[in-house]
Amino acid sequence: MHPEATAFSVVDDQPGTQQHCHSEVPSHGPVVTIVIPTFGRPLQLQACLAALAEQTLAVPWEVVVVDDGSPQSLASVGPAWAGRLDLRVIRQDNAGPAAARNRGVQEARGSLIAFTDDDCRPEAQWLDTLVRTARERPGALVGGTTLNGLDSELFASTSQMIVDLVYAHFNADPDNAYFFTSNNMLCPRECFLSLGGFDRSFPRAGAEDRDFCDRWRIAGWPLIWCPDARVEHCHSQSLGKFIDLHIRYGRGAYLYQARRMQRQSGTMQADLGFHRTLFRRVRHHLTERNAHILEMLGLLAALALWQVANAVGFFIEALSVSARRAAFPAGSRSTVRRDSCSRRGR
């Protein structure tokens, strides 16, 4: 790679333009742009950048960090990595992770876009593995595997177990995958823009990645799961944070199902197959994990709490949408699509 001076830019919320999907290798400049949204986690961000500095990809690439209105300044981040990373840090008013990722893609110079999060630590071969797979399958959305970086924490382990169960069900055929988390994926920039990016009406982290994958799939483009492209996810969670996270995911799930109904891309009934086979998959997962009895009981209790929190979030959002529909005439509903909760949650 060819390190360049760090640049800072002011907020610019103009949406990306619609373009036809194609991917061309640029004649100069970076081939890949890694986009990282961040909010209020400077230490985690530094650890993520340290992992990226060890990437083995031989072609030029860059990193675009989008500071989504963090309360503390990230002005010192760029200079700290001068000469080691081709890095730009861009600050915008708080608008949520979907908008932050979209902004990063707008600013990107690479023809391929890789996404990860500030609390992730990609393995050294991560980017090279994603790019290699993308070159073998032009036009594909390529997703990797997320590992738990906090094995000693019950709720971090449970959240990772949920992701593992989801991938085992929905991505059983890696060449015809269904869903990737937004902290480990890569796609052509032009395809991303032609879809309009992540849906900004998902104001907090929760199902905007499911929605993006669904729109990618109905556009007729492949989703390829590449398990060897690994990132370590270090998201510490207390009991309260765990409950809040999965209530938020439940709220996002309601919005996601509503979007699917609008575009007729699928039904919630199809997704319920995951829950019907959940007990069998949990039992298999715990057997493979070789968990001792206390760990097993803790994980089972946390999984039950996840199901409750997810259901609560789903119905909270359903009631919230119903209340907004009652309060606003049909012609003005488009002005109140955003969720009433704060965008700042991660």
Specify the pTM: 0.86
Dist CA 218 CA 136 (whole Å): 21
Q: How many angstroms separate the Cα of 152 from the Cα of each of 156, 157, 295, 325?
A: 8, 8, 10, 44
pLDDT digits (tens, 9 = 90+) for 297-337: 999 999 999 999 999 999 999 998 888 887 776 655 444 44
What's the average model confidence in pLDDT over 179-188?
97
pLDDT at 139 over 50: yes
Mean pLDDT, the chain, rounded, equals 86
Domains of the chain (ranges; CATH) run: 8-237 (3.90.550.10)
Residue 62, beta-bridge partner list: 33
Q: DSSP state, 338?
A: S
pLDDT at 122 over 60: yes
pLDDT digits (tens, 9 = 90+) for 157-181: 999 999 999 999 999 999 999 999 9
Q: According to the model, what pLDDT value does residue 290 have? A: 80
pLDDT at 71 over 50: yes
Task: Please give the sequence-ordered ranges of beta strands (E in DSSP) within 20-129, or none if there are none.
Answer: 32-38, 61-68, 87-92, 112-115, 120-122
Q: Which is more confident, 12 or 289?
A: 289
Of the pLDDT bands very low, low, confident and very high (cuts 50, 70, 90), residue 73 is confident
Q: Which residues make Cβ contacts (< 8 Å) with residue 307, sequence separation at least 6?
A: none
Q: According to the model, what pLDDT value does residue 331 have? A: 53
What's the average model confidence in pLDDT over 215-239?
96
Q: What's the sign of the alpha-carbon dihedral 208, 211, 213, 219? A: negative
Dist CA 129 CA 144 (whole Å): 9
Backbone angles phi, psi at 91, to 5 degrees: -105, 140
pLDDT digits (tens, 9 = 90+) for 250-260: 999 999 999 99
Copy the structure tokens of residue 212: 């993006």
pLDDT at 338 over 50: no
Q: What's the sign of the alpha-carbon dihedral 243, 249, 255, 258? A: negative
CA distance between the termini of the chain: 31
pLDDT at 241 over 50: yes
Dist CA 247 CA 253 (whole Å): 10
Q: Tell which residue, 176, 253, 244, 161, has the closest CA to residue 207.
A: 253
Q: Tell which residue, 163, 131, 325, 172, has the closest CA to residue 249.
A: 163
Please return the burial class of 37, using the count of CB atoms within 10 Å of its CB with bins 0-12, 13-18 and 19+: buried
Backbone angles phi, psi at 339, to 5 degrees: -65, 140
Copy the structure tokens of residue 181: 């988390």
Residue corresponding to tokens 């086979």: 277
Residue 66, beta-bridge partner list: 37, 90
